[in-house]
Amino acid sequence: MGDANSFFSSKRAALRVLVNHGEKDGFTAARMILSGIPLDETYLQNHLSILMNDERKSLKGGRIPIPDSYYLMGTADPTGILDRQNVSLDMRRFHKRLLQAYDYSFKKINGQISYNQTTDLFKLC
């Protein structure tokens, strides 16, 4: 969103935004800029406005799109058992495909499985 204020006047900022959202128009707008068409061209200005509005709407929803990622709902540790940088996961609520796609190092704490974010081990225990 930091680029949103400058991408109407800065080719570099506009390209950064257009590359991130290029799948929407097949990177047509990015190719236009790279071929030398000025940013004040009507189609580009309209396209950049649409992208800026889309980005604002997604941020209002509290969601930042990250490719190949999953939304997880969480809460602070009400028991105070977890160390700093640790998260607790209730594996019964995970989709089977998610568990098969990623191998993580887990440990059980009071009947719940905990994943240590700082570990380099990636094997399902």
The domain limits of the chain are 2-60, 70-125
Here the tokens at position 63 are 């969601």
Looking at residue 14, its pLDDT comes to 83
- pLDDT value at residue 82: 78
In 3-state terms, what secondary structure has residue 20? helix
Residue 110 pLDDT level (bands cut at 50, 70, 90): low
DSSP letter at 94 equals S
pLDDT at site 122: 32
DSSP states along 34-84? HTT--TTSHHHHHHHHHHHHHHHHHHHTT----TT---------SSS-SPT
Confirm if 113 and 91 have CB atoms less than 8 A apart. yes
pLDDT above 50: residue 54: yes
Residue 61 has pLDDT above 80, yes or no: no
pTM over 0.75, yes/no? no
- Where b means 16+ CB within 10 Å and e means fewer, 36-71 reads eeebeeeebeebbeebbeebeeeeeeeeeeeeeeee
Cα(79)–Cα(110) distance, integer angstroms: 10
| Top-confidence residue, 113 or 5 | 5
By percentage, how much of the chain surpasses pLDDT 70?
53
